[in-house]
Amino acid sequence: MNELTLPYHHLRTFAFEIFRKIDCPEADAQLASAVLLSADLRGIDSHGLARLSGYVRLWEAKRINSQPDIRVVHETPSTAVVDGDGGLGLVVAPKAMEIAMEKASQVGTGWVAVKNSNHFGIAGYHAMMALEKNMIGMAMTNASPLVAPTFSVERLLGTNPICVAIPAGRQPAFVADFATTTAANGKLEILQRKNEEAPEGWIQKKDGSISTNPYELKEGGALIPLGSDREHGSHKGFCLGAWVDIFSAVLSGANYGPWVPPFVSFLSPPADPVGAGIGHFFGALRVDAFRPVSEFKNHMDTWIGRFRSAKTVEGEQRVIIPGDPEREAETERMVSGIPLNDKVVEDLIALGEKLNVKF
Amino acid sequence: MNELTLPYHHLRTFAFEIFRKIDCPEADAQLASAVLLSADLRGIDSHGLARLSGYVRLWEAKRINSQPDIRVVHETPSTAVVDGDGGLGLVVAPKAMEIAMEKASQVGTGWVAVKNSNHFGIAGYHAMMALEKNMIGMAMTNASPLVAPTFSVERLLGTNPICVAIPAGRQPAFVADFATTTAANGKLEILQRKNEEAPEGWIQKKDGSISTNPYELKEGGALIPLGSDREHGSHKGFCLGAWVDIFSAVLSGANYGPWVPPFVSFLSPPADPVGAGIGHFFGALRVDAFRPVSEFKNHMDTWIGRFRSAKTVEGEQRVIIPGDPEREAETERMVSGIPLNDKVVEDLIALGEKLNVKF
């Protein structure tokens, strides 16, 4: 597998110009390209440029509105429901998170459920917006149904990620950003490229039996909730994915469960929708709504320091604090550039040619 | 293993009288016995009467204050920090949840972090308080360190449960209540009684290697975060347990990580505490702060109905909706009585004799 490594700013400008070509206003194109590229920077390659042509195809299919009227349709002092008007999740999500933070600045916390949106990139971007304001940020979203609940052979949930971002002092922030499945779809794509089998416990066949075939989803198989099987707690992973689905979509009025529209444009959304678009849920908690910021940050430093220096099993260097790998990738890639695999490069070149943007 | 089955009200009265004997005010003893017995009713036997003598021993060791002055020490319209004054978690927790619900009734949501508390029974009791008010309830708590983060040999986290309780209409409520480990401690106790080995992935030895010995914790081993190993996402289970720890204790000013005082009275709390007692975190979200209650409940019914009727793998009757097993146990045990194993019966008889309460 060959890779091409290109500078962050070069790639971000390319994404910006593509978003402009699909009629995004300039500020939205800036925002969308920043959110999209944050995935590539942070090493979550499946959620960055690899998806750019997918967004464009959804726009071509008139399933993404590049000039949405994003608005609050219901609110209380600490909550809001936002209608994303079919916009790019990359734009709708950070705007919804801003509303959550504004509410938190007024009454201590803010909680925003979003309907009528689309894929929002990495949850981490949105949750981390809270950090510089000395707030804790949370972000979750539902997604296309690829996951079978425990004992089910039907795909009823998405990989439904959760991010919780918590500020610290001298230590870097705690940022847990994870799919509620044993493995996210992106991990299967890596195996496909390497021509390797998946470990047992990641995927099941159409009939629910064990599979190690990384192409199993194409055969009607399913991803498995975190826990892998009932004996190892997959019902808990199902609880997590269900929680995300309900907060993101039943609270907001979006589609949930098997009704969530697919990301890929060649599959049609269900003909009998139960809501509008896909759903997200955001939270912002002002640290000083609980205790003084400096006190909190000192204790976060103690917490992180203690866990990071824990005695490890033989052969492992350290306990990894949530957010460490992504932050390290970001530092490295901001300097050395972002590696793109050949398939993504081909895809971006074709996209650039189609829309007359130089890659 | 023999069992004795006794009526709920008989056992609840016994617990009430025991709490009175350790000087709990009458209303607190009523509340504590209701919370404690809700575990036995709902089939979570490890968190009910099996722990009653443990609470008494903590009171004898002056580590539980049976007449606490539970008070709000900091607040905003949507948040509060509660000092439990060393009280029984069984009493402090529902009072903190009441505060969260009162805030939600005012500004849409309420979020309460608690310090200086003790073990609070099952998370489900507290979260479910929200249901009858058409609110979503959340409850989490940290606990004695028995869990090794991924790659660690040190026990730094508790089994740190999360409960999310969501009201529905014709369907029973969605109630996800789960430890953030692959298996909770109570599951090991069941294996010990049955003289059986544990599956791989539940526990590790002192050096971090695989163990199937259900007594491994006594040898310095540890429970494992949900996911079982890195390849199957144990770092995500670690994220969950860490999140609960930080929300419960770093936000509130309680002890966190390895500093959490042990539940058992024969182990002393750490000599260098970083906070006060153990910590909890509660949330209440008014459904109509997001959308009309009837609309929400109709969609919850659709959600639950769709998942419950999913096509199953061969040999399984149905997909289990979070809360089903506990609700079914409660219905059954309220009628047929609560089965207690011999060890618990012996323990309760001895406790009754010591405190002069007839069992």
Tokens of A151: 């004992």
Can you give the pLDDT at residue A3? Answer: 84
pLDDT of B129-154, one tens digit each? 999 999 999 999 999 999 999 999 99
* pLDDT for position B185: 85
**Is pLDDT at B1 greater than 60 in this prediction?**
no
Nearest-Cα distance to chain A for B308, in Å, is: 9
Residue in B72, B73, B79 to test binding to A, most A beta-carbons within 10 Å: B79
Domains observed in chain A: 3-182+224-292+326-355 (3.30.1370.60)
**Model ipTM over 0.85:** yes
pTM of the model as a whole: 0.98
Q: Which residues pair with B284 in a beta bridge?
A: B110, B137
Give the chain A residue whose CA is nearest to the CA of B75.
A289
Q: Are A232 and B237 in contact (CB < 8 Å)?
A: no
Q: What is the β-pairing status of strands A79-83 and A3-6?
A: unpaired
In terms of Cα–Cα distance, which of A216, A48, A30, A198 is closest to A124? A48
Q: Which pLDDT score, from 0 to 100, does residue B79 have?
A: 98
Q: Is the dihedral of CA A163, A166, A167, A172 positive or negative?
A: negative
Listed by number, the residues of chain A in 91-120 with a beta carbon closer than 8 Å to a beta carbon of chain B are: 106-109, 111, 113
Shortest CB distance from A313 goes to which of B111, B207, B232? B207
What is the CB-side half-sphere exposure of residue B193 using CA atoms within 13 A?
A: 15
Interchain CB contact of A339 with B (< 8 Å): no
Å from B43 to nearest chain A CA?
Answer: 17
Taking the CA of residue B187 and the nearest CA in chain A, the distance in Å comes to 11
Using CB atoms, pick whichever of A233, A258, A311 lies closest to residue B152: A311
Please list the helix, strand and coil fractions of chain B in percent, rounded to the nearest 5, in that order. Answer: 45, 20, 40
Interface probe for B, chosen from A180, A231, A314 (most Cβ of B below 10 Å), is: A231
pLDDT of residue A136: 99
Pairwise CB contact (< 8 Å): A243 & B176: yes
CB contact B312 to A (< 8 Å): yes
Q: Would you give the distance in Å from CA A323 to the centre of its chain?
A: 14
The answer to whether the Cβ–Cβ distance between A250 and B296 falls below 8 Å is yes
| Rounded distance between C-alpha atoms, residue B120 and residue B140, angstroms | 10
Query: Does A289 contact B at CB distance below 8 Å?
Result: yes
Per the model's pLDDT, the better-predicted residue between B351 and B359 turns out to be B351
A174 contacts in B (CB within 8 Å)?
A: 242, 246
Give B 169-228 residues with CB within 8 A of chain A: 174, 176, 178-183, 199, 201-202, 207-209, 226-228
Residue B230 sits at the chain A interface (C-beta within 8 Å): no
Separation of alpha carbons B258 and B277, rounded Å? 12
Residue of A75, A116, A151 to mutate for B, most B C-beta atoms under 10 A: A151
pLDDT tens, per residue, chain A with 359 residues: 578 999 999 999 999 999 999 999 999 999 999 999 999 999 999 999 999 999 999 999 999 999 999 999 999 999 999 999 999 999 999 999 999 999 999 999 999 999 999 999 999 999 999 999 999 999 999 999 999 999 999 999 999 999 999 999 999 999 999 999 999 888 898 899 889 999 999 999 999 999 999 999 999 999 999 999 999 999 999 999 999 999 999 999 999 999 999 999 999 999 999 999 999 999 999 999 999 999 999 999 999 999 999 999 999 999 999 999 999 999 999 999 999 999 999 999 999 999 999 99
Closest residue of chain B to A202, computed from CA coordinates: B232
Per residue in B310-336, pLDDT (tens digit) is 999 999 999 999 999 999 999 999 999
Q: Which of B240, B248, B293 to mutate to test the interface with A (most CBs of A within 10 A)?
A: B240
Q: Which of A261, A248, A46 is nearest to A145 (CA)?
A: A261
* CB-CB under 8 Å, A166 with B235: no
**Which chain B residues have a beta carbon less than 8 Å from that of A149?**
307, 310, 319
Q: Which of B201, B202, B208 sits opposite A313 (nearest CB)?
A: B208
Which whole number is the average pLDDT over B294-300? Answer: 98
CA-nearest residue of chain A to B249?
Answer: A299
Left if phi > 0, otherwise alpha if psi is -120 to 50, otherwise beta: which for B356?
Answer: left
Give residues 265 to 284 of B whose Cβ lies within 8 Å of A. 274-275
Please name the amino acid found at residue A176. A
